[in-house]
Structure 1
Amino acid sequence: MNDLDELKRYIVAHARGQRIGKLQEKLDSIVDDGDGPGSWVTQWSAAAAALERRGQLLPASRHYIMARFPYPDRPTRTRAAHDAAATFERWRAGRDLHPLDFEHDGHPVRCWQSGLSSARPRPLVVIMGGHLTVKEQWAPRLGVFRRLGLAAVVADIPRIGGNTVPYDAGAHRFLSSLLDAVGDRADVRQTYAIALSFSGHLALRCALEDPRLRGVVTAGAPIRSFFTDEAWQARLPRVTTDTLSHLTGLGLDQLGDWVIGPAQLAALRIPVAAVASTRDEIIPREDLLVLRDNVRDFRMLVHDDVHGAPNHTLESMAWTALSIQRMRGRSALPLRLLLRAARLRAAL
């Protein structure tokens, strides 16, 4: 059973990114993390079912995703995860949003894609969330990148949702298999990654080995101290440590070989951009500094916020899209204006 206060605290960034309305009212109605009336999974699932009955399939899927948070640890959450995927599948029918299936080392992976075309291969953007999210949270945004002239794929990180690849020290190589799978329908020699939190770690490790990855935008990615600083690890919330243990089958003290060192970062020949939070309680400040001090082409957006920057969602989204266009050497005036508006809104 999860710590209820932690669930309520760490769902905020995810819920705001999913445009979940009346969030505090919903959280106040939850009294425990069991399976009975008033529990986390029951309340979120009931809200999702009510939306589903009204035909509001995307909001329903988003509420089911909240119900399975932080991961399917028992049958009720597993059912919520299934319902999230099923309602999303119904919502996306008839839209330019299609399944992409491939295998990595014999492990099936399902993604969502938009804009892949053998007749007109476009540069590719790959989007991944962190260790607490599923691809259906990000898939509705693929159209934004299609309108920017990119093909787009959204993937789960290993052991989440449609990605059955083991989450181990070699898990980042599934990204190369993804690029192989779409190489006839996208210009994968120009691939960019938007990789948040723990998927940022995966994307950077992939970039060290695969030259097709031409830029990475991340936020709150573990790099070095997260995997080695025992004092920091002792202060981490259970929602982080329990989820990582569930996904990897390992304790934090067994992840030392996941470190990306300064020499590896210095060897990167691609631009890297990162959203940072000054009060990040998950990722040590040193992990951001090692990026800043060693990556040759590095940009940073800093928020006075906690992990995930829940109070700056729109600004982070606009800056992320703008960063991709900068990496491509493309003009992005509308995105600059959107970023300016988001900053003004945050200030007000």
Structure 2
Amino acid sequence: MSALSEAKQFVGLHARHMGLSDALVCGVLRRVASLDGEGPGGWAREWSSEAEAALGRKDARAASNLYNLARFPCADTPTKARAAQLAAEAFRGWLEAGGAGERREARVGGERVPFLFCAASRANAPLVVLMGGIVSLKEQWGSFLGLGPRLGCAVAIADFPGVGENPIRYARAAAAVFGAIMDASEGACDTGRTLIIAPSFGGHLAILQARGDARLRGIVTVGAPLAHFFTDPDARRGMPEITRAALMSAAGVDASDFERRLTELALTPQEIAEIAIPIAYVASLRDEIIPQAEWREAAALTRNLRVYSFDDVHGAPHHLRQTRLLILAALLRHAGRPRAAGLLERALRWTSRVELYHP
């Protein structure tokens, strides 16, 4: 499959998360003839045109989402880099106009990492940190700025390393960004009670951070790579081209150094066995990126990994409602409402085709 075909296939998941209509997405994709082209028919140009139209309608939130898609899967051309910048600017305008939150900065070494933040009504409210993966910007998750405080949690949202406004490169040490965000949120909430919601590669970094940060109380992730993705030869060969390109961009490596970086990122069996906090892991049985062995073997190593499996492809795009309900249950439990969380989880199992995996 060509990189363009892959991009057209995978972009639908992110568009659905943003609430964009299928009609709009299909209309843009019909006009796209090149993934890297800068002019008419080019991926970035066609999505950017839709974003400009949204700005003309004074819809900064929609414009931010459309610019987000314009730089998909990574900002590897001047037009895509500009689209990523415009996505952040449009969202900042929406944030300032509506008062839904603020921008803060975390410090990791000598680097500044901007993140979005919204405090709850209580200064002792627990913190929820959200981070996407290698192909999504933090602005995509902006709706959590309103949801978290309504449930009694402060919310911080950051870009994945090497993506958007995060200048750090994807490596094991990049997990420190979570600790830096907690440090930068200190005083506005109880960072000693932090939940991380991080799909895909964000979940990998969250698990690395959890090994040495006692402030973390739990993690929710969707299709996170742990070990097999990084080391299994079949998984490497089967990796979609857009995943490979986005990973190299996030890690700041070229093809000659890519294999070594992947191997370095893999969690060891001992590291997985030492996981000491609960992790809710949404798995897809037909995942074309993450092997089933990834979560099956990890679940056998630690009792703290709770796997919810769906008959779906990577990211469980056809089970967004169920995934959102699982995230909502985790938020309720983190906010001190375990009974409501338990009722929601039981209702979800009764009414949906979700299976709890037990090794």
The TM-score with structure 1 as length reference comes to 0.93
The correspondence for 2:321, drawn from 294, 300, 314, is: 314
Q: Select 2:332's aligned residue among 325, 329, 334.
A: 325
The answer to whether structure 1 residue 193 and structure 2 residue 196 are counterparts is yes
For each residue in 1:173-194, what CA deviation from the matched residue of structure 2 results, as whole angstroms up to 9, or x when unmatched?
1211221222222211111100
Match of 1:209 in 2: 212
What is aligned with 2:115? 111
- CA–CA distance in structure 1, aligned partners of residues 342 and 64 of structure 2: 28
Partner AA of 1:120 in structure 2:
A
Match of 1:28 among 27, 30, 55: 30
Worse-matched range after superposition: 154-163 or 251-260: 251-260
Q: Which residue of 2 aligns with 1:16?
A: 16
Percent identity between the aligned chains? 35
Q: Secondary structure at the match of 2:143?
A: helix
**Aligned-partner Cα distance in 2 for 1:342–1:162:** 38
Kindly state the Cα deviation for residue 291 of structure 1 after the two structures are TM-superposed: 2.5
1:229 aligns with 2:236: no
Contact 2:123 2:190 in 1 (8 A): no
| Secondary structure in 2 matching 1:196 | coil
Answer yes or no: is the 8 Å Cα contact 1:318–1:339 preserved in 2: no
Which position in structure 2 is the counterpart of 1:62?
A: 65
Q: Offset of 1:286 from its aligned partner?
A: 1.2
Gaps of 5+ in 1: none
2:278, 2:332 → 1: CA distance? 12
> Secondary structure at 1:170's aligned position in 2?
helix
1:162 and 1:28 map into 2 onto residues whose CA distance is 30
TM-score by length of 2: 0.90
Q: Determine if contact 2:120/2:148 at 8 Å carries over to the other structure.
A: no
User: What runs of 5+ residues in structure 2 fail to find an aligned partner?
Assistant: 355-359
2:84 alignment partner AA? A
CA displacement at 1:284 relative to structure 2: 1.2
CA gap of 1:5–1:73, structure 2 versus 1, over 3 A, is same
Cα pair 1:196 1:221 within 8 Å, conserved: yes
1:19 and 1:132 mapped to 2: Cα distance?
17
Would the aligned equivalents of 1:272 and 1:295 in 2 still touch at CA under 8 Å? no
1:1-348 alignment, distance < 5 Å: 3-21=3-21, 22=23, 23-33=25-35, 34-93=37-96, 94-115=98-119, 120-248=123-251, 249=253, 250-326=257-333, 330-331=337-338, 333=340, 340=347
- The offset of 1:240, in angstroms, is 0.6
| Partner secondary structure for residue 105 of structure 2 | strand
Report how far residue 262 of structure 1 moved.
2.3
Q: Cα RMSD between the aligned structures?
A: 2.3
Counterpart contact for 2:160–2:202, Cα < 8 Å: yes
- Tell me, yes or no, if the aligned pair for 2:325 and 2:348 is still in contact at 8 Å: no
Q: AA paired with 1:236? A: M
